[in-house]
Amino acid sequence: MVDVTIQYANIYVSKIRQSIDFYRDIVGLELQFTDEEHGYASFNAGSIRLGLAEVGMSQDNLTGRHTGVGFCTGDLEQTYAEWVDRGVEFSMKPEHQPWGGFMAMFADPDGNVSYLDQPDVVHSG
pTM of the model: 0.83
Regarding whether 77 and 52 lie in a shared domain, the answer is no
Regarding whether 124 and 70 lie in a shared domain, the answer is yes
Regarding whether 104 and 52 lie in a shared domain, the answer is no
pLDDT of residue 101: 84
pLDDT of residue 121: 66
Torsion angle of the four alpha carbons 53, 47, 73, 109, in this order, in degrees rounded to the nearest 10: 0
Closest-CA residue to 116 (of 92, 100, 98, 99): 92
Q: Long-range contacts made by residues 43-50, C-beta under 8 angstroms, separation at least 24?
A: 45/9, 45/71, 46/72, 47/5, 48/6, 48/7, 48/8, 48/9, 49/7, 49/8, 49/9, 50/8, 50/9, 50/10, 50/11, 50/23
Regarding whether 48 and 71 lie in a shared domain, the answer is no
Q: Give residue-wise pLDDT tens across range 56-113.
A: 766 768 888 889 899 999 999 999 999 999 999 999 999 998 888 899 999 999 999 9
Question: How many domains in the chain?
Answer: 2
Regarding whether 80 and 29 lie in a shared domain, the answer is no
Q: Long-range contacts made by residues 60-66, C-beta under 8 angstroms, separation at least 24?
A: 60/14, 62/12, 63/12, 63/13, 63/14, 63/110, 63/111, 63/112, 64/110, 64/111, 64/112, 65/111, 65/112, 65/113, 66/112, 66/113
pLDDT of residue 93: 97
Q: Which of 11, 35, 56 is the last residue of a domain?
A: 56
pLDDT of residue 2: 73
CATH of the domain at 122: 3.10.180.10
Q: Give residue-wise pLDDT tens across range 45-68.
A: 988 999 999 997 667 688 888 898
Regarding whether 68 and 52 lie in a shared domain, the answer is no
- Domain containing 51 equals 1-56
| Higher pLDDT among residues 114 and 6, named by residue | 114
pLDDT category at 123 given cuts 50, 70, 90 is low
